[in-house]
């Protein structure tokens, strides 16, 4: 089962290595990982999608909380957070199939952010289902390169911070 975990960390040297190292060192699987500073520049948010059962999730949260530079950890239950991912895809496209690709993008509200004689770069933002469906559609064309952010998430309402521990 996949779990989305949001980790607020001090924006310090080596913190990402500690977080990522905790996963590898204890044998937990990371599906995706995203990290960037937040509005308070002294902090960063790491969003991890991890794979495992409820006991694994429980251990991941506790072990992350043990890291000195970790301020807060939230394991989102279903529906507690809005989740988005951004995907960039460069696909082979020419004058023959270009309009079909544009149509698909319209349906998915994806953007075309670059066009070349024999390729296009598409951008889509959405939750997991939408990104998956879009990807399924464009895979009928030749995908040359793909890059995605991994999931980002924010709690819908203010969640009381659990004891930092």
Comparison of 66 and 132: residue with beta carbon closer to another protein: 66
Q: Reduced to 3 states, what is the DSSP secondary structure of residue 101?
A: helix
Q: Reduced to 3 states, what is the DSSP secondary structure of residue 157?
A: coil
Contact assessment for residue 30 and residue 20, using Cβ atoms and an 8 Å cutoff: yes
Smallest distance from another protein to CB 18, Å: 6
- Chain positions contacting another protein, by CB under 8 A: 9-10, 13-14, 17-18, 21-22, 25, 55, 58-59, 62-63, 65-72, 163-165
Comparison of 62 and 132: residue with beta carbon closer to another protein: 62
What distance in Å separates the CA atoms of residue 129 and residue 1, rounded to the nearest whole number? 15
Comparison of 48 and 120: residue with beta carbon closer to another protein: 48
Comparison of 21 and 37: residue with beta carbon closer to another protein: 21
Smallest distance from another protein to CB 112, Å: 41
What contacts 52, CB < 8 A, 6 or more positions away?
A: 1, 3, 28, 29, 60
Smallest distance from another protein to CB 59, Å: 6
What distance in Å separates the CA atoms of residue 86 and residue 148, rounded to the nearest whole number? 6
């Amino acid at each position: 089962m996949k779990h989305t975990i949001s980790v607020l960390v001090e924006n310090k040297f080596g913190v990402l290595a500690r977080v990522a190292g905790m996963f590898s060192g204890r044998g937990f699987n990371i599906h995706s990982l995203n990290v960037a500073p937040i509005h308070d520049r002294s902090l960063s948010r790491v969003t991890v999608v991890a794979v495992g059962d409820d006991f694994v999730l429980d251990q991941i949260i506790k072990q992350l909380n043990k890291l000195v530079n970790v301020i807060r950890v939230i394991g989102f239950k279903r529906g507690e957070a809005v989740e988005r991912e951004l995907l960039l895809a460069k696909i082979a496209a020419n004058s023959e199939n270009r309009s079909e690709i544009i149509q698909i993008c319209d349906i998915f509200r994806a953007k075309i952010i670059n066009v070349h004689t024999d390729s296009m770069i598409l951008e889509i933002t959405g939750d997991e289902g939408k990104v998956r469906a879009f990807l399924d559609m464009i895979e009928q064309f030749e995908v040359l390169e793909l890059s995605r952010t991994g999931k980002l998430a924010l709690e819908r309402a203010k969640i009381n911070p659990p004891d930092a521990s």
